[in-house]
Copies of this chain bind each other. A is one copy, B any other.
Amino acid sequence: MPDASTIVTVLDRAGYRLTEPRRVVAGLIAGREGHFTAADLVDDARERRLDVGRATIFRALELFTELSAVERVDLPSGEHAYVECEPIHHHHVICSQCARTTEVEACGMPAVAREVGKATGFKIQSHRLELFGICPDCQAANSRRG
């Protein structure tokens, strides 16, 4: 359930101007299901005859990322995609068929990180975890289709 007003609210709270282009980009993101690229938004905007510059879309994405309203995920293909999400530590489970994503909070990673730190001597600062699989909907669709 993406929601444009959520992003707008975050913007406002952080003291950024609530401009029309930013609202538009927030709306485009809200209209997306699953992950999307900057290019996707550019296409969406052109299709809907919404007048937003390409540079502005990139700038908005950068800003939203900084405010943790969206997060960048690196797909196995190497593409840089984005997903709208909550501003708390979490990870994404990504459907490799329909691109829909789900957030997972309890990642169990602190334990792993601690263990790895002990084994390697590294002082672990951060981690990235992305899980890829098939979502329930796609599983159902697949089995129905034989």
Interface residues of A (CB under 8 A from B): 72, 74, 76, 78, 80, 93, 95-96, 102, 104, 106-109, 111-113, 115-117, 119-136, 139
In contact, B131 and A122 (Cβ under 8 angstroms): yes
Determine the residue in chain B with the shortest Cβ distance to A121: B136
In contact, B93 and A120 (Cβ under 8 angstroms): yes
> Within the complex, what minimum Cβ distance (angstroms) separates A137 from chain B?
9
Q: Select one of B72, B120, B123, B136 contacting A102, CB under 8 A.
A: B120
A122 touching B134 in the complex, CB below 8 Å, given contacts A129-B127, A129-B129: yes
Measured between beta carbons, the chain B residues less than 8 angstroms from A136 are: 120-122
In contact, B116 and A104 (Cβ under 8 angstroms): yes
